[in-house]
Amino acid sequence: MKPVVVKIPVERIHDWDTFHTVFAEILGFPKFYGRNMNAWIDCMTSVDCPEDGMSEVHGTKEAGMILDLGVCTEFARRCPQQYEAILDSVGFVNHRRMEAGEEPVLSLSFWNAQPLK
């Protein structure tokens, strides 16, 4: 089984507001989505559980979901806090699931065309 690949249009992200708007739109977060990283983590933790109602796009328990950021050098430079939040929070989602006896569900695909520093 192949993982679900979700292209994240990082070129649309310029601040925290646009970060949460993009993820809510692309993944179909619920109307009550809190637009903060705790809420993002809650939605992403349940991305393979449609019955939880935390997203409209779902990975699978067997193969998970890949968030494809594409070439994200400019995004990482323009929005370093949001870039780091994605990296840290994907790791936290997987850690949280493993602590609960579940399989990791998220992977990232991205490439920085140039060193960030």
Asked if residue 116 belongs to a domain, the reply is no
- CATH number (domain holding residue 56): 3.30.370.10
The pTM (predicted TM-score) of the whole model is 0.94
Report the pLDDT averaged over residues 102-106.
Answer: 95
Residue 104 confidence (pLDDT) above 90: yes
Q: Is residue 90 part of a domain?
A: yes
Query: Would you state the pLDDT for residue 106?
Result: 97
pLDDT in tens, 107-117: 999 998 777 77
Higher pLDDT, 97 or 61: 97
User: What residues contact residue 40 under an 8 Å CB cut-off, 6+ apart?
Assistant: 20, 23, 85, 89
Which residues contact residue 94 at a Cβ distance below 8 angstroms, ignoring those fewer than 6 apart? 104, 105, 106
Which residues are paired to 71 by β-bridges?
111
pLDDT for position 1: 81
Q: 83 is written with which tokens?
A: 């870039």
In this prediction, residue 92 carries a pLDDT of: 98
The partner residues of 4 in beta bridges, in order of sequence, read 65
In this structure, what is the dihedral angle of CA atoms 34, 106, 85, 42, given to the nearest 10 degrees? Answer: 20
Q: What is residue 61's predicted lDDT score, i.e. its pLDDT?
A: 87
Q: What is the pLDDT of residue 40?
A: 98
Does 117 map to a domain?
Answer: no
**pLDDT per residue over 41-95, tens digit each?**
999 999 999 999 999 999 998 999 999 999 999 999 999 999 999 999 999 999 9
The lowest-confidence range among 19-23, 35-39, 63-67, 110-114 is: 110-114
Tell whether 49 is covered by a domain. yes
Determine the structural domain holding residue 66 and report its residue range.
4-111
Alpha helices in 1-117 (DSSP H): 16-27, 37-45, 73-78, 80-99
Task: Work out how many domains the chain is built from and give that number.
Answer: 1
Q: Which two tokens stand for residue 98?
A: 């493993």
Q: Are 19 and 35 in contact (CB under 8 A)?
A: no
